Amino acid sequence: MKTTPPPTPGRRLLRRPSAVVAVAWLVLLTVATACAPLIAAHGPLDQDLSQVLALPSATHPFGTDSLGRDLLSRLLFGGRPALLAVAEALAAHLAVGVSLGLVAGYRGGWADHLITRIGDLLFALPAIIIVLVVLSVFPGNLHAAMITFGVLGSPGMIRVLRSRTLGIRQEMYVAAARVCGLSDTQILLRHVLPRLTGTVIVQAALFSAVAVIIQAGLGFLGLGAQPPAPSWGGLVADASQVIDRDPWMLVPAGVPLVLTVIALTLLGDAIRDTAVENWSVSKLAGTSAPPPVAEEIAGAAGEAAPGALLSVRDLTIEIDGVPVVQGVSFDVMPGETLGVVGESGCGKSVTALGVLGLVPGNGRITRGRVVFAGADLTASPAELAKVRGSGIAYVSQDPMVALDPTFTVLSQLSEAVRRHERATREQARERVLELLAMVGIPDPPGVAGRYPHQLSGGLAQRVLIALALAGRPRLLIADEPTTALDVSVQKEILTLLHTLQRRTGVAVLIVTHDWGVVATLCHRSLVMYAGQVVEQADVESMFVRPLHPYTAGLLAANPHRAVTGQPLTTIPGTVPSPREWPLGCRFSARCPYAADDCRTAPVALTRPVPSRLTRCLHVEELAGEGARP
């Protein structure tokens, strides 16, 4: 928890240089055009035929046009109708867009239907053409034209606001407010509108940018202010008349226009970016040095166990320069199932992906080795590429998003098959059907022809497992493979994994937070806490007699072991984030056995019992107390 409340959105916005520049330009422009009579040394219509098409000089800072009129003055005076026109368009845009978008999103039902329909129709209208028609009806009436343009541009605003409002309306906090008895008006005012302001401002800024161009364009076509009255578009038109004699005039005629549009766009972008970071957790300033890691005992960080299929040594992974996994070592023997257990934020998934050289986001492996069947994957990208899919395969958590939605099951699986073995189209198809049958899919040809969105969660997870098996891997990494599934489907998938392992001898590295899954499937288990391995043992011993207080606490907190009426055993506090890792034992803040020695220095993994590892200085006390079975 941070102690200072986040700064106001406005102040945060002004921390962005681009926003400052944009705001400064817009303010300068508004003030300058508003005070044009005070600033301009010449009147916009004053002709000086001795100074025709002059280049910039002290008297005419931007030069003059073909009648010797001062360009700066014409720009400033032309800015007034320009800004007014943009304001008119924006007002119409906001009035129509915001009200209709809000109503459609919040009311839903027929109102939404109707508004969406109208919005679609308006969206399909070529706005500029309709504006031209309006101008043919009201010649020279820029007000009518710009208001029309504002209305015709509103479908964009309607769409964005509608979907935002719809999203907010479905947020649980709106339901909570309703349960609390708040009226629609109160909900709109307290919960919906404040969250929309950012979006509205962004859209408004972008629309204004377009409106600036359109109003100038109308002036350029001679449809706005009539000469000799100054207008921005008119300036460009004047410049076009003398382009062969005085190309300079293009610069003062166009550059302010371009700058204004850029300023509005930048402002919109900056507001959007600030809105995103608005209420999200802000990163603490500065990067703390990664806490030191203790020397591990030989074997934990030493040589690979003889005969190990996969051997990870001292693996350290950093994301954005912050270590999230530190000094992790373990082995997977051929045909065994190793469970990696822990709560979220402990680095389980990152470790599993790190084995495959796939670290999310800006992460990278900064230390350690991953050796698979004798090949060092961290040293050789070529080896890694060869191993993926054929040596080590991967199954992810949510099967519904783990398959490419635009290809059929057959197409994706045959791609996997043909990637790993030479096969004709027909042979690949045969192999795909075989794989689908292998994962217990009752109608392989039928399922092969389907797209991912036509599969149920259980079926999709089976297809995903089939995909992983396509390269006949010797190790399957499964990242929470059953978490997103219903209990009964979960059981089917666990049984399937178990059966496949018996049949094919594939080793499994399974990441899970569910002790039930560990007990059902795993031979050995690895408990991770705050980026480190804290305990490693065979599953039976770990369940009967955990050797780390975290393991013991996590086992005891499982409601499966609860007795109704008695409070559950809990671990106080929460897992520290990587930036909060202490120097000493990372579990010490939550540990009932913690003493001073735990906090002063990093704790190393020790082997108190043969073939078991723990990262605890007080194993004796814990063991003495005895853990409940």
Partner 1 sequence: MGALRLAIRRLLASMPLLFLTSALTFVLVSLVPGDPARTIAGQHSTAEQYRLIRGQLGLDQPLPAQYWHWLTQVFHGDLGSSLFSGEAVTSILQNRLPVSLSLILASTVVSGLAGVALGLLSARRGGVLMKIVDGLAMLGLAAPPFWLALLVIEVFAVTLRWFPVTGYVPLDEDPGGWARSLILPVISIALGAVAIIAKQTRDSVLDTMSKDFIRVMQANGFSPRSILYRHILRNAALPIVTVLGVLMVSLLGAVVFVETVFAMPGVASLTQQATVQHDIPVIQGAVLYITVFVIVVNFVVDLAYVRLDPRVRTS
Partner 2 sequence: MTPRTLLEVDDLTVEYGQGRRGRRGHAPSLRAVDGVSFDVRPGETVGLVGESGSGKSTVARAVLGLTPVTSGRIRFDGTDITHAGRGLRRTLSARLQMVFQDPYSSLNPARTIGQTLAEPLLVHHGHRSARADARVAAMLERVGLPAKAAERYPSQFSGGQRQRIAIARALMTSAELVVCDEPVSALDLSIQAQTLNLLSELQRELSLSYLFIAHDLPVVRYLSHRVVVLYRGGVMETGPVDLVYERPAHPYTRALLAAVPDPDPRIRAGRHDEPVTPQGTSRPTAIGCPFAPRCAHAVELCRKERPRLLPVDGVTGGAAVACHRAAELTSTGNGVASAAGRPGNVHMEET
| Minimum distance of partner 1 from residue 133's CB (angstroms) | 6
SS3 sequence, 241-296?
HCCCCCHHHHHHHHHHHHHHHHHHHHHHHHHHHHHHHHCCCCCCCCCCCCCCCCCC
Question: Packing angle between helix 193-220 and helix 71-107, nearest 10 degrees?
Answer: 140
Angstrom distance (rounded) from CA 73 to CA 232: 11
Residue 230, interface with partner 1 (CB under 8 A)? no
> Among partner 1, partner 2, none, what binds residue 266 when CB lies within 5 to 8 Å by partner kind?
partner 1
Asked if 171 and 153 count as a contact pair (C-beta separation under 8 A), the reply is: no
Shorter beta-carbon distance to partner 2: residue 182 or 609: 182
Asked if 214 and 128 count as a contact pair (C-beta separation under 8 A), the reply is: yes
Residue 496, interface with partner 2 (CB under 8 A)? yes
Strand order in the sheet with 322-332: 322-332, 310-319, 364-372, 375-376
| Minimum distance of partner 2 from residue 338's CB (angstroms) | 14
Residue span binding partner 2 (CB under 8 A) among the ranges 252-260, 272-280, 380-388, 607-615? 272-280
Angstrom distance (rounded) from CA 78 to CA 75: 5
State which of residues 11, 15, 143, 190 lies at the interface with partner 2 (CB under 8 A): 190
Shorter beta-carbon distance to partner 2: residue 521 or 617: 521
Residue 29, interface with partner 1 (CB under 8 A)? no
Residue 244, interface with partner 1 (CB under 8 A)? yes
Residue 353, interface with partner 1 (CB under 8 A)? yes
Residue 400, interface with partner 2 (CB under 8 A)? no
Residue 396, interface with partner 1 (CB under 8 A)? yes
| Minimum distance of partner 1 from residue 557's CB (angstroms) | 29
State which of residues 514, 548, 618, 622 lies at the interface with partner 2 (CB under 8 A): 514
Residue 460, interface with partner 2 (CB under 8 A)? no
Residue 569, interface with partner 2 (CB under 8 A)? yes
Looking at residues 18 to 77 of the shown chain, list those that interact with partner 2 (rule: CB under 8 A): none
What is the pattern of x (binds partner 1, CB under 8 A) and - over residues 471-490?
x-----x-------------
Query: What is the residue-wise DSSP string for 475-493?
Result: EEEEESTTTTS-HHHHHHH
State which of residues 209, 324, 509, 542 lies at the interface with partner 1 (CB under 8 A): 209
Looking at residues 403 to 442 of the shown chain, list those that interact with partner 2 (rule: CB under 8 A): 439-442
Residue 114, interface with partner 1 (CB under 8 A)? no
Contacts made by residues 492-501, CB under 8 angstroms, sequence distance 24+: 492/440, 492/458, 493/458, 493/461, 493/462, 493/465, 494/520, 494/521, 496/439, 496/440, 496/462, 496/465, 497/465, 497/521, 500/438, 500/439, 500/465, 500/469, 501/335, 501/337
Residue 516, interface with partner 2 (CB under 8 A)? yes
Residue 306, interface with partner 1 (CB under 8 A)? no
Looking at residues 325 to 354 of the shown chain, list those that interact with partner 2 (rule: CB under 8 A): 343-344
Q: Which of 412, 443, 442 is nearest to 429 (CA)?
A: 412
Q: Encoding tokens for residue 591?
A: 């540990």
Asked if 306 and 535 count as a contact pair (C-beta separation under 8 A), the reply is: no
| Minimum distance of partner 2 from residue 128's CB (angstroms) | 28
CA distances from residue 164 to 158, 195, 419 in whole angstroms, order as listed: 10, 9, 42
Number of residues that bind partner 2 (CB under 8 A): 83
